[in-house]
Structure 1
Amino acid sequence: MRHMDDEGLRIDADSCYRLAERKATRYFAALYEQVKGQTYVPSLTEDIRLWRRHHMHRGSWLSFFPRGKGKSKAANDLSYITWLHHTGKLDAYLNRSISYIYMRDLGKSMDSPDTQAKIQRTAADVKRRLMSAAEAGPGGQPEWFSAAELYRWAQKEGVETAVIWAIDKINRVAANVPEGMNAEHAQRKLIKIIIGVVLHANEETDGERSPAERARRLDEAIRLGYSYGLTYPFIDDLLDAQVLTAQEKTQYSQIIREALRTGVWPEPGEWAGPNKAMMQFVYAELREAFEYIKRSRRPDTQRGFFEQAYVFFHAQESDRAKDLSHAAYTNEELYIPIILKSAYSRLIARSILGAPPDEGFEERTFFYGIYNQLADDLADMFEDMEAGAVTPFTYYATYRDRRPDLINPYELYWTVISHLVHQVYDSDAKAREAILSRAINGLKRHRARIGTEKYNRVMGRLAFGNPAFHRRVQRLVRQADDVDFLDKLLRDRLIANLRSEREAKEAFFETVRTAREQINSTLQIVKPDGIPPMKETLIDAANYSLAGDGKRLRPVLTFVMGVQEYGLRAASIVPLLRSLEYMHTASLVFDDLPSQDNASFRRGRTTLHRMHDSATAELTGLYLIQKAIQDQASLDQFDAETVLALIRYSARAAEDLCLGQAMDLNSKGKALTLEQLNMICFYKTGIAFEAALVMPAILAHANERDVSRLKAFAYHAGIAFQIRDDLLDAEGDERSLGKPVGLDVDNDASTFVTVLGRDGAKKEMWRHYCLAMEALKEMPRRSAFLQQLLNYILNRDR
């Protein structure tokens, strides 16, 4: 080895892997001896006898409490938590769940009074949150995975910038996951790793640091968690998937190996093949993550991290290189890489923080990993078999009849459990409770997922040398109760949320596309025969402005609210939809004039005053406003009083829009306060959102309370929209936007970016996003479209 210099460091990769391999070999040998002699059976049989006292219940008065949708579906419903509370089982459920996280993720010993105190505090805090959600009503759910709830936590901890950054990054990864890979799976893994690293950072900062130092460490942990977590979708999953060619996989693996050996991210060279564009993105993201990890670590902690990362990667590569058609793998060849990759994946979560050495943590984590890995491999056995992947279970299923020397992985799994309970956790009762409950829970979930008949066939083939013990375990799977875990509930909820979010997003854009097409088909103004040439010029100019690539967001919003939320006939509100787009387009024509923003492009085309002249543009804007009024007056499917009320509201809204633009123009060159910015933004942008929501409500005779909630939502959504506009002007792409960027600076305008800076503007945008979400919850109709609209506002690139 040589010391780190300006170029990086170089580890003795072969040496550190051999050292780790020797340790794994000793561990496997100890397990193998227990398997051969079945020495684990007596102690584990006694463990099960003690454990079953709390998990094998005869019918009792507790069964009369309703379980909502039933126990089989309880993990997906808050009603199960309510049932646990009513039956007095919630405390034990939470203690077991939190204890397991402290063992698996934090490598803690269960006999530590300090650890037990932390578990109790954490469980009490989680219980308060769960009960708060339950009291919200039958449909309430804890919003731990909502963006708004996450941002509120970030505000509390002072890590808003890091959370905004991580959310943007995770969304970018999901958007760039190639076909053949699962974007939701990638998101879930990233989130899981970030949470794991943050848990370690939280332990390191618990009660010992100032709030500022705690915020700094948590900020760093979020970024480090993402940087490490990125390796799962973009290294592990990508190399496992059938996306890259064999040549691309070889080239990519060499890049990763060289980076870990030297501490320097290598140049990729010429990347040929069909995946060039995708790999350029992957390479750039990984390089940024690699450099952040390296930059964040002190020189004296870098080497340990790179050594652990190399062992992890090499173990994965060794495992990945196996071929199911190869019939001669030894038990050591099958299990040693699994022990290493499962242990080092969790060791890295702590070492990436540069935390001080903790021998107890490292030993417990090293021995613990294979327990989870074998459970996962059993659960994924059929999928792995279909993909031709080599795991202990697929290999045993393939060659068990020809290879009597092969260890039964299911028997090894129970051997590991015995080893953990007695050798690693010194026969601690809480450790026994958590580990055995987790094992039975995993088997129950597996049976529920694949069906009882298929599960029984699998267990019949995996039955090992002690039939009595095997039957005892299967009886527990059928009869044992109270083995559920909170992290499984959260995992299922996260997966369901990611899936429903994707479906809602697709539905949102499909709704927008359909409504936009219908609106576009009605916008062009027809030229009657025999009109004066100058009127033809005005109509042509108006149609030119209307034909641009506009989002039509306001009339689309009115269409959805009117038709889907209030049940109005689509054909009856077409004049209203036209009027909204006419007024919006008129405002853009005025906004682009030399006397105002002096823009050259709008909606991807030359602005109207440059196509003609300023006078024509001004007159065209006035013409469009008059057309809007005509259309509103032609809403003949509604009674005259309602239409008159709508026109009165529309006129007031137009006044406010003019006021907002005047205030904006008057602010140029002036230093504005945040309060002044919000006021200008509301009048300039928020009013337009309000009108799009309120006008169909007026036609539907909505009550004043509903209208006031719509206005509150529109206020915050409109400001968030304007802040995103300001951010896009500062950092967006002109081709995507369809208009020039940097106009705010050129025009000496005060914007959220110029007043607050980019990070400050993003925080303010997220604050209004959260407030808009709160307003949305108060509406009698919790529109999925409006929720997706908010997500679109935050993430749009044009």
Structure 2
Amino acid sequence: MNEELASNTDYCYYLAEEKAGHYFKVLHKQLIEKHYVPALTKDIQSWKLNHIHYPSLLSFFPRRKKKPVSKEYRSYIQYLNYTSKLDDYLERSISYIYMRDLGKALTSPNTESRVRNVVEQLKKNLLLDNGDKIEPFSMASLYKMAKKNGVESTMIWAIEKLKNVSAIIPKGMDVVHAQRKILKIIAGVVMNAIEEMEAGISLEERTNKLTKAIKIGYYYGLTYPFIDDLLDANILSDHEAKDYSNLIRTTLKEGNVPEFSEWKGKNKQLIQSIHSELKEAFLYIKANQKEESLEAFLQQSYVFFCAQEIDRLKHLSYEHYTNEELYIPVILKSSASRQIVRSLISAPKDGDFDKQTFCYGIYNQLADDFADLFDDWEEGAVTPYTYYMKHHHRRNDLINPFELYWTVIFYLIHHVYQSDKKTCNVILDRAINGLKRFKEKKGNKRYKEVMDLFASEIPAFNRLIQTMVQKADNVDFFDKLLRDQMVVTLKNEQKDQKEFFHTIKSVQSQINISLLIAKSERAFSSDDAIVDGANYSLNGNGKRIRPIIAWCMGVNEYGLDETEILPLVRSLEYMHTASLIFDDLPSQDNASIRRGRLTLHEVYNTAIAELTGLFLTQKAIEEQTNLSHFDPQTVLSLIRYTAKVTGDMCKGQAMDLESKGKQLTLNQLNTICFYKTGIGFEASLIMPAILADAKETEIAALKKFAYHAGIAFQIKDDLLDVEGDKGLLGKATGKDVENNHSTFASILGMEGARIEMWEHYCLALEALQEMSWKTKFLKHLLDYLVHRKK
């Protein structure tokens, strides 16, 4: 921006460091004098009355509902409700979020009221039994949540951005962690935005504020994978890391993103992609800030970045870091990270928020560092815990971070929150919960080793703490449940997607090998031309979606022999390829490029193309007659179904041609789409189901899925025709406009078409819930259909 801003930014860091140094001295003094021990001992003795329950006579009789072995999202909520613990669980969870993320004091009547309202609404939503079995944090659940708040378009935007960004994240970095962090940041910014909304705000203004909050949250969230995690991951060389850090530092000091110049290092393409994403993010944040809040954002971000950088450059083997060098950066980065969110939403200055956030930050950071202790140790990262583990034998002056953690808890309860009982309970709940989670995750033996090291200097207090860890109940938190569920969901998604694409690639290769048609021994040139034309069309770079679906459903879901259903698989691709040949003809769409090369009528002529299309439809029927391992009546039913499908597809194409130049309604377009496209998806699902003698209810559910998946597929095609990459698509774009076709994009607009696509996406997922068995394949197929680039 200018030199003045750069100077202000440096001065701001100096002031922040001075403030952090003063806070550290206060904490250090409290720790040395051990004031926290008697005060917290008294607090815990009072606190434990509500958390340690001794067995009564009735407890020896078995109850109908036992505590779940694993804290699976839905079953755990149901258990808490059944045991009448859900209200307290949600109360402490939301209270903690108001303290941690929103900087609120629980003593405020307004905060009390807001917490109570959120708890009531959350409980209602959690217990609402509407048959919705969609996984939390799946794309569908995020879309549905956004739809309730009128920001579905923005959530679609965020989901698509998240998918694109995930593809950039290099090997050596945790994609799931990056996705979780970005989603968490979005949620945090949205919570702050909602909290700042005035009573009586109009629906339009609320929607605008939520839209802005989601986008700002996403853009700010990018800094975690693309700055913090990237610099921590040892992916960049030392020289690259230094240049990249200077690039970030210059941006924050001057208020402008330097252009990407010549890059020295092997990661040029990666940095160029990240630079483009972060520049877009910075420009959006900058454009949506008031001048004073922009300056605050840059200053706080600079403080956060510099504190992170100081810690990042430390070496665990170096023996001479002072306590100030270890703890002041922790105070700076933990407090600045929360201040940044306030500036992002241009919230007014709040003295209480500033004080509470500043004092609170180190508590949360020390808790996080304890939870990540062994991961940080393995990576050689310097934190107060890893450094103490490494050097405490030789450095008697080192502060024990576990003791400082309890000192901070004491200071927060009795000096920041004025000994408020509810605040005390929530903070102690969280502290004991953190230790219990660590013990469960690492096991008793390792947990004892850690406690022997960090808690040995406070034996009586430690015995009390360990008794609470062993016996205390009702210290779980909803945000932790959500975090665990999010990690499980995202990891499963990632694993299943890898398996899905591996299956697709493998099956596609098998299908491609079996498709080509052998020539007959007759020497007529017309016969050669038709077979050559068929093989030319089949040889194109087709996705093979329909035969792949049939193969996967038949083999993986119904247990049919893969060699026995190959004729079915071939027949589907022959039918589909024939439909494309007809579709491309001059009398129909008049396309010159298909599957990355010239269409058949351009290579040969219209007559050969027409005859080849007819030949392939008959070849498809012939293949089905080769299903000799199945009951003849079943095969006859299959052929009867195929004949109807082929006829319906012809009707759909006729409807499409007749609609040229006409303004269609959405219902008319849906009908054409189903007959022209959706029915092909239906056939690929129903045909193997017929061979497997599936139940009628199952076939009905598959038809419903196919209907909505087919329309979602067509909408994506319409969107790609407007904004797709011609090189990736393998065909010309803009053909719908050229042919004067009504499409979802032309009727609804691009934004409306995306919303309609996601509506059908969700309806297709709901159809899968009606199946007697659950198939991951169809779910990931659906994801592929709406996110494909070609």
1:189-208 residue CA offsets vs partner (Å, 9 max, x unmatched): 11110100011111122643
Distance 2:167 2:121 in 1: 35
1:369 corresponding residue in structure 2: 361
Q: Does the CA-based 8 Å contact 1:230-1:286 persist in structure 2?
A: yes
Q: Does the CA-based 8 Å contact 1:67-1:79 persist in structure 2?
A: no
Pairwise CA distance, 1:571: 2.2
Q: Does 1:54 align with 2:50?
A: yes
Of 537, 557, 562, the residue aligned with 1:545 is 537
Of 33, 37, 46, the residue aligned with 1:37 is 33
| Residue identity in the other structure for 2:102 | L
TM (norm. structure 1) is 0.96
Distance 2:702 2:109 in 1: 52
1:188 corresponding residue in structure 2: 180
| Residue identity in the other structure for 1:624 | L
Q: Does 1:146 align with 2:142?
A: no
Of 585, 594, 597, the residue aligned with 1:593 is 585
| Residue identity in the other structure for 1:394 | T
Pairwise CA distance, 1:791: 0.5
Distance 1:11 1:500 in 2: 48
Distance 2:248 2:764 in 1: 44
Pairwise CA distance, 1:296: 0.6
Q: Does 1:570 align with 2:570?
A: no
Q: Does 1:747 align with 2:743?
A: no
Q: How does 1:431-510 map to 2 (within 5 A)?
A: 431-510=423-502
1:660 corresponding residue in structure 2: 652
1:328 corresponding residue in structure 2: 320
Q: Does the CA-based 8 Å contact 2:3-2:254 persist in structure 1?
A: no
2:166 corresponding residue in structure 1: 174
Q: Does the CA-based 8 Å contact 1:677-1:751 persist in structure 2?
A: yes
Q: How does 1:676-695 map to 2 (within 5 A)?
A: 676-695=668-687
Q: Does the CA-based 8 Å contact 2:136-2:489 persist in structure 1?
A: no
Q: 1:745 to 1:65 in 2, by over 3 A?
A: farther
| Residue identity in the other structure for 1:536 | D
2:20 corresponding residue in structure 1: 24
2:696 corresponding residue in structure 1: 704
Pairwise CA distance, 1:251: 0.9
1:613 corresponding residue in structure 2: 605
Could you say what secondary structure the match of 2:460 adopts? helix
Distance 2:318 2:241 in 1: 21
| Residue identity in the other structure for 2:597 | R
Distance 2:268 2:653 in 1: 46
Distance 2:433 2:766 in 1: 37
Q: 1:566 to 1:194 in 2, by over 3 A?
A: same
2:121 corresponding residue in structure 1: 125
| Residue identity in the other structure for 2:398 | L
1:417 corresponding residue in structure 2: 409
Distance 2:45 2:134 in 1: 36
Distance 1:63 1:77 in 2: 27
Q: 1:620 to 1:142 in 2, by over 3 A?
A: closer
Q: Does the CA-based 8 Å contact 2:133-2:769 persist in structure 1?
A: no
Q: Does 1:258 align with 2:254?
A: no
Pairwise CA distance, 1:606: 1.7
2:92 corresponding residue in structure 1: 96
Of 81, 84, 100, the residue aligned with 1:85 is 81
Pairwise CA distance, 1:63: 7.1
Question: May I ask how many residue pairs the two structures share in their alignment?
Answer: 789
Q: Does the CA-based 8 Å contact 2:260-2:272 persist in structure 1?
A: no
Distance 1:611 1:142 in 2: 48
1:568-596 residue CA offsets vs partner (Å, 9 max, x unmatched): 22222211111110010001111111222
| Residue identity in the other structure for 1:26 | H
Pairwise CA distance, 1:179: 1.0
Distance 1:417 1:75 in 2: 27
Q: Does the CA-based 8 Å contact 1:693-1:710 persist in structure 2?
A: yes
1:710-753 residue CA offsets vs partner (Å, 9 max, x unmatched): 11111110000001111111111112111122222222222111
Q: 1:63 to 1:756 in 2, by over 3 A?
A: farther
Q: 1:453 to 1:53 in 2, by over 3 A?
A: same
Q: 1:325 to 1:84 in 2, by over 3 A?
A: same
Q: Does the CA-based 8 Å contact 2:66-2:79 persist in structure 1?
A: no
1:85-112 residue CA offsets vs partner (Å, 9 max, x unmatched): 2222111111111111111111111011
Worse-matched range after superposition: 765-774 or 673-682: 673-682
1:273 corresponding residue in structure 2: 265
Q: Does 1:243 align with 2:235?
A: yes
Distance 1:127 1:381 in 2: 34
Distance 2:294 2:209 in 1: 17
| Residue identity in the other structure for 2:447 | Y
2:303 corresponding residue in structure 1: 311
Q: How does 1:320-359 map to 2 (within 5 A)?
A: 320-359=312-351
Distance 1:528 1:111 in 2: 88
Worse-matched range after superposition: 611-620 or 734-743: 734-743
Pairwise CA distance, 1:671: 2.0
Could you say what secondary structure the match of 2:759 adopts? helix
Q: 1:11 to 1:739 in 2, by over 3 A?
A: farther
- Which structure 1 residue ranges, 5 or more long, are not aligned? none
Worse-matched range after superposition: 737-746 or 212-221: 737-746
Could you say what secondary structure the match of 1:12 adopts? helix
Q: Does the CA-based 8 Å contact 1:105-1:346 persist in structure 2?
A: yes
Q: Does the CA-based 8 Å contact 2:593-2:731 persist in structure 1?
A: yes
Worse-matched range after superposition: 551-560 or 463-472: 463-472
Pairwise CA distance, 1:770: 0.8
1:109 corresponding residue in structure 2: 105
Q: 1:97 to 1:67 in 2, by over 3 A?
A: farther
Q: 1:740 to 1:704 in 2, by over 3 A?
A: same
Worse-matched range after superposition: 367-376 or 531-540: 531-540
Q: Does the CA-based 8 Å contact 2:216-2:284 persist in structure 1?
A: yes
Q: Does 1:779 align with 2:771?
A: yes
Pairwise CA distance, 1:630: 1.1
Q: Does the CA-based 8 Å contact 1:129-1:142 persist in structure 2?
A: no
Pairwise CA distance, 1:513: 1.9
Q: 1:297 to 1:65 in 2, by over 3 A?
A: farther
Pairwise CA distance, 1:682: 1.0
Could you say what secondary structure the match of 2:639 adopts? helix
Q: Does the CA-based 8 Å contact 2:213-2:345 persist in structure 1?
A: yes
Moved over 4 A (4+): 1-4, 62-71
Q: 1:395 to 1:68 in 2, by over 3 A?
A: farther
Percentage identity across aligned positions?
A: 54
Of 272, 276, 283, the residue aligned with 2:275 is 283
Distance 2:267 2:102 in 1: 38
Q: 1:775 to 1:40 in 2, by over 3 A?
A: same
TM (norm. structure 2) is 0.97
Pairwise CA distance, 1:286: 0.2
Q: Does the CA-based 8 Å contact 1:184-1:495 persist in structure 2?
A: yes
Could you say what secondary structure the match of 2:563 adopts? helix
Pairwise CA distance, 1:600: 1.9
Q: Does the CA-based 8 Å contact 1:68-1:79 persist in structure 2?
A: no
Q: Does 1:158 align with 2:150?
A: yes
Pairwise CA distance, 1:65: 5.8
